A and B are shown apart, each in its own frame.
Chain A
Amino acid sequence: MASGIFGITLMGLNAAQSNLSTTSQNIANVNTAGYHRQSTNLTTAQPMTTGYGMVGSGVDVVGVARSYSRFLENQVVSSQGQLSSYQTYGQYASQLNALLGNQNSALSASLADFFASVQNVANDPTSIVARQALIASGNGLTGQFDNASKGLSDLQQSVDQQVQSIATQVSSYGKSIAVLNTQITVAQASGSDKVNALLDQRDQLVAEINKLVNVNVLNQTDSGYTLYIGNGLPLVQGSQANVLKAVANPADPTQSQPALQIGNGIIPLDTAQITGGQLGGLLAFRDQMLMPSQRELGKVAYTLATRVNGQSGLGFDLNGAAGTDFFSTPAVRPPVANLNNTGNGLLNLSLTDPNLLANSDYKLAYDGANYTLTRVSDGTSYSNATLAGLGAAVSAAEGFSFSLSSGTINAGDSYLIRPSQYAANGLSVLITDPSKIAAAGPSGLPGDNGNALLLASLQSQKLLANGSVTLQTAFNQLVGQNASLTNAATLGQQSYQTLTDQATQAQQSFSGVNLDEEAANLIQYQQAYQAAAKAMQIASSLFNNILSAIQ
């Protein structure tokens, strides 16, 4: 009987000790990221059957469990992923807005200033001062275009670098998760007490990955977590981790895009499926704001330069000589050959009427029988058996044309067409001699301001978007659209911040450590320990009584 008491009290001491150590562990990890509070699971030991019935035989420590709810964890992870997507989008968006100058844009002011200078030349066509002021305004304006354009290119580079570094980081987390998968399987098999810590680490890594890119997690009992990325490709599978890479986008090699390296194969990810995390935010920013801004800015710059040059060519300068180009000829980006093309065909591109250009990229493809040009935004397409025939049709409808400059085009080849993307790059004023400004109309006489008036009228002519907007309005619309997108990102950020806070609170409510609770537990377990020790003392004195009785 006495040995029974000793045994039971020893078990009680053990249980209290285990509880105390779990409590200490909780207190120690109160600030550890990803830590889930633990509790010691106790159960009544199997009772002994005696002649007078069942007698309790003590307490067993079953194990130490963490408070973990997959549902609550998923809520936190997914809202955090969305939050970091919006945060990243918002950061880049405000950089872009600052570049284009928000509502008080220097570029917009320079555009107005340029046309004001043209008016001043019209008011006094022989004034060298007014003509010099026009050249200065022109230089100011092209400087603004060039700055904005370079700034956008810098942003594009920064996005590409960020995609690269996110890919590296995700791969490294993936590798750690694969290692943890193995460790957890081994630890679980051996019943190691390290299991909880390993599980916490793995869940924390999944949360970190989701801040970078959205992944789906499947928990497989035998091999651990499988992480799927993009269109269902395995980033991690058991002990195997694949590598996320930033590769050149085959359609536009100047842009990087995420791809998964599985073994020796590199599979590009469907970017439409990458909707969360910093990577999701970056790609959305690039598609929704950066590329359209480059396109629209280029369109305005191209139209301004070619229209002013065209009108200048119709006029005469102060000496009666035919007018020459005021601006440099803006660059048109030739069609970009897809990296997967089997042919070596290179194409030329000419912008025939920027007024017709849609707010979209274009894709040209050859299927062996027909050439097809597709407007990416809405899928409008044109087909023709010859490139020249297609070029003519596209020129009439979309305002640009193309021709083969060298090589051959094979079936299956395709090209990306972004005609105005770099048109604002390096735009400059060619005229340095004020007398060369073509202010005079057909008379060619110094007092004639006819051509200057026509140049000035370009400001109010609706030259873009099928004759619906002026140059200034087109630029303002770009700024306005970017502002709306930024505003939406800010709202998204705010709402996902609230969701994340709520989800985190719910998760913490279940899994987090409360120090007051642990303090109460400490006392409770301490008392249990003291009680067990007292029982031990009593058992010992009982034993002594018996010993002294039989002496």
Chain B
Amino acid sequence: MRISSNSFYAAPLSGILNQQSSMAALNQQIASGNKLLTAADDPVAASQVMSLNDHIALSTQYQANQLSVSLVQKEEGILLDQVQTSLQSAQKLLTSVNASTDQNLKNSVAATLSGLYQQIKDTANAQDTNGNYIFAGFKSSTQPYDGASYLGDNGLRQVQISQGQTIQANDNLNSVIQAGTANDLLQVIAQTAANLQNPATSQAQLDSAHATVNSALGKLQDIQVALVGRQQQVSSQQSATQQLLAVNQDALGKLTQVDQASAIVELQMRQVSLQAAESAFASTSKLSLFNYL
């Protein structure tokens, strides 16, 4: 085929330019470690990357939520254990006395009971690091137990720990303390401490107080068991989220990360062909009949 001098120069030149631009793209990939430089390079992969990015962001947020709720649960667990210890002490004390016990001993039991009363009340009024009352429901800025009535509410906060799964983040102690009722734990303990100092304390009064403390311990245990259940739920969700995150991050890596070894090999291959094209151009471009005239 007849070829014009312009084509003779232009054809190898465009080959050289193409090699150079693909080398530039490879260089950029190797330097950034990212094989998907723009979404248009591979729209399908880019869509997957966007969706994976969203899932990863969401999982990361759920992890933060899980951590946040697990810390709250841990704190609540410690407080519930304290109430339990106090109630168990009260139980033991009430078992150790009866109507005919020596008044001195009754007085000392009364003093210890008063201390336990304060402990239980303080724990029920515990605040978190931000000064919010933990067992006050939504009324977190109000001290819930004044010894006579409950000033909080029944609000239960939920925390999102996965897509479509929320978990209760707080409890109140109403079932344990029964503030304001005939079985008001705090009032019963306070009253019992006062009664014990009175020699006329009846056995019936002591028995009733004992029953109240026993029942409170039972109710407390219900709350503790439910809390442990929720802690397990969070913990199992934590590992599920972690696994999902790992899977997604792995998939993202496969889609976006450059296989450096093969990229470098390809770069070298292109370098060789570029050199070949350049040297071919250099030698053929010297050819001209005019050189021989």
Q: Which residues of A contact B (CB under 8 A)?
A: 30-31, 37, 93-94, 97-98, 102-105, 108-109, 112-113, 115-116, 119-120, 122-127, 440, 443, 445-450, 453, 456-457, 459-460, 472-473, 476, 479-480, 482-484, 486-487, 490, 501, 504-505, 508-517, 519-520, 522-523
Interface residues of B in 155-173 (CB under 8 A from A): 155, 157-160, 163-164, 166, 169-170
Beyond contacts A119-B65, A123-B64, A519-B293: 14 other A-B pairs, Cβ-Cβ < 8 A, are: A97-B38, A97-B40, A103-B38, A108-B53, A112-B58, A126-B132, A126-B140, A445-B153, A447-B157, A460-B164, A509-B3, A509-B4, A515-B5, A520-B289
| A484→B293 CA distance, assembly (Å) | 56
| A482→B50 CA distance, assembly (Å) | 13
Interchain CB contact under 8 A, B288 and A108 = no
Tell me which residues across on chain A come within 8 A of B39, comparing CB atoms. Answer: 97, 102-103, 479-480, 482-483, 486
Q: Does B57 contact A (CB under 8 A)?
A: yes
Stretch at the interface among B6-14, B203-211, B270-278: B6-14
Question: Quick one: CB contact mask for B95-137 with A, threshold 8 Å, 1 for yes?
Answer: 0000000000000000000000000000000000010100011
Interchain CB contact under 8 A, A445 and B155 = yes
Which of B10, B38, B136, B155 has the most chain A CB within a 10 Å cutoff? B38
In the complex with contacts A512-B4, A523-B293, A447-B69 CB distance below 8 A: no
| A491→B234 CA distance, assembly (Å) | 50
A-B pairs, 10 with minimum CB distance: A512-B4, A447-B140, A483-B39, A486-B40, A445-B138, A519-B289, A112-B57, A483-B43, A508-B4, A448-B138
List the B residue with the shortest CB-CB distance to A522: B293
In the complex with contacts A515-B290, A520-B289, A127-B4 CB distance below 8 A: no
| A505→B132 CA distance, assembly (Å) | 81
Interchain CB contact under 8 A, A449 and B64 = no
The residue from B50, B137, B140, B293 contacting A103, defined by CB atoms under 8 A apart: B50
Tell me which residues across on chain B come within 8 A of A94, comparing CB atoms. Answer: 38, 40
The residue from A124, A516, A522 contacting B68, defined by CB atoms under 8 A apart: A124
Interchain CB contact under 8 A, B61 and A119 = yes
Interchain CB contact under 8 A, B136 and A447 = yes
In the complex with contacts A123-B69, A443-B138, A453-B160, A480-B3 CB distance below 8 A: no
Interchain CB contact under 8 A, A476 and B50 = yes
Interchain CB contact under 8 A, A446 and B50 = no
The residue from A472, A480, A522 contacting B47, defined by CB atoms under 8 A apart: A480
Interchain CB contact under 8 A, B140 and A487 = no
Which of A98, A476, A511 has the most chain B CB within a 10 Å cutoff? A476
Tell me which residues across on chain A come within 8 A of B54, comparing CB atoms. Answer: 108, 112, 472-473, 476
Interchain CB contact under 8 A, A501 and B139 = no
| A520→B39 CA distance, assembly (Å) | 54
Tell me which residues across on chain B come within 8 A of A112, comparing CB atoms. Answer: 53-54, 57-58, 61
List the B residue with the shortest CB-CB distance to A512: B4
| A28→B266 CA distance, assembly (Å) | 43
Q: Does B2 contact A (CB under 8 A)?
A: yes
Interchain CB contact under 8 A, A122 and B159 = yes
In the complex with contacts A116-B61, A445-B138, A505-B11, A487-B290 CB distance below 8 A: no
The residue from A126, A490, A511 contacting B40, defined by CB atoms under 8 A apart: A490
The residue from A116, A440, A479 contacting B57, defined by CB atoms under 8 A apart: A116
List the A residue with the shortest CB-CB distance to B132: A126
Interchain CB contact under 8 A, B140 and A516 = no
| A134→B190 CA distance, assembly (Å) | 46
| A43→B36 CA distance, assembly (Å) | 65
Tell me which residues across on chain B come within 8 A of A459, comparing CB atoms. Answer: 58
CB distance from A269 to the nearest CB of B (A): 29
A to B contact number (C-beta, < 8 Å): 186
Question: Quick one: CB contact mask for B159-203 with A, threshold 8 Å, 1 for yes?
Answer: 110011010011000000000000000000000000000000000
The residue from B46, B57, B58, B163 contacting A480, defined by CB atoms under 8 A apart: B46
Q: List 25 A-B contacts (CB under 8 A).
A: A103-B36, A108-B50, A108-B53, A112-B57, A112-B58, A113-B57, A119-B65, A122-B158, A122-B160, A443-B138, A445-B155, A447-B157, A449-B157, A449-B159, A459-B58, A473-B51, A476-B47, A482-B40, A505-B7, A508-B4, A508-B7, A511-B4, A516-B5, A516-B288, A519-B293
Tell me which residues across on chain A come within 8 A of B1, comparing CB atoms. Answer: 509
In the complex with contacts A115-B61, A460-B163, A509-B140 CB distance below 8 A: no
CB distance from A93 to the nearest CB of B (A): 7
Q: Does B141 contact A (CB under 8 A)?
A: yes
Interchain CB contact under 8 A, A446 and B141 = yes
Q: Does B49 contact A (CB under 8 A)?
A: yes
Tell me which residues across on chain A come within 8 A of B65, comparing CB atoms. Answer: 119, 123
List the A residue with the shortest CB-CB distance to B39: A483
List the A residue with the shortest CB-CB distance to B152: A447
CB distance from A475 to the nearest CB of B (A): 9
| A30→B4 CA distance, assembly (Å) | 9
Interchain CB contact under 8 A, A504 and B49 = no
Tell me which residues across on chain A come within 8 A of B289, comparing CB atoms. Answer: 515-516, 519-520
In the complex with contacts A31-B6, A443-B155, A105-B50 CB distance below 8 A: yes
CB distance from A415 to the nearest CB of B (A): 35
Tell me which residues across on chain B come within 8 A of A520, comparing CB atoms. Answer: 289
List the A residue with the shortest CB-CB distance to B8: A514
| A517→B8 CA distance, assembly (Å) | 13
CB distance from B201 to the nearest CB of A (A): 41
| A457→B160 CA distance, assembly (Å) | 9
Question: Quick one: CB contact mask for B33-44 with A, threshold 8 Å, 1 for yes?
Answer: 000101111110
Which of B6, B136, B289 has the most chain A CB within a 10 Å cutoff? B6
| A442→B95 CA distance, assembly (Å) | 47
CB distance from B66 to the nearest CB of A (A): 10
Tell me which residues across on chain B come within 8 A of A120, comparing CB atoms. Answer: 64, 68
List the A residue with the shortest CB-CB distance to B5: A515
Interchain CB contact under 8 A, B4 and A103 = no
Interchain CB contact under 8 A, B5 and A102 = no
The residue from A122, A447, A522 contacting B132, defined by CB atoms under 8 A apart: A447
Which of A98, A104, A105, A479 has the most chain B CB within a 10 Å cutoff? A104
In the complex with contacts A103-B50, A125-B157, A126-B130, A487-B2 CB distance below 8 A: no
CB distance from A104 to the nearest CB of B (A): 7
Which of B2, B41, B137, B289 has the most chain A CB within a 10 Å cutoff? B289
The residue from B36, B40, B155, B287 contacting A448, defined by CB atoms under 8 A apart: B155
List the A residue with the shortest CB-CB distance to B67: A123
List the B residue with the shortest CB-CB distance to A120: B64
Tell me which residues across on chain A come within 8 A of B53, comparing CB atoms. Answer: 103-104, 108-109, 112
CB distance from A220 to the nearest CB of B (A): 30
Interchain CB contact under 8 A, B46 and A445 = no
CB distance from B51 to the nearest CB of A (A): 7
In the complex with contacts A447-B140, A449-B158, A509-B7 CB distance below 8 A: yes
List the A residue with the shortest CB-CB distance to B163: A460
Interchain CB contact under 8 A, B6 and A508 = yes
Interface residues of B in 18-41 (CB under 8 A from A): 36, 38-41
| A440→B139 CA distance, assembly (Å) | 11
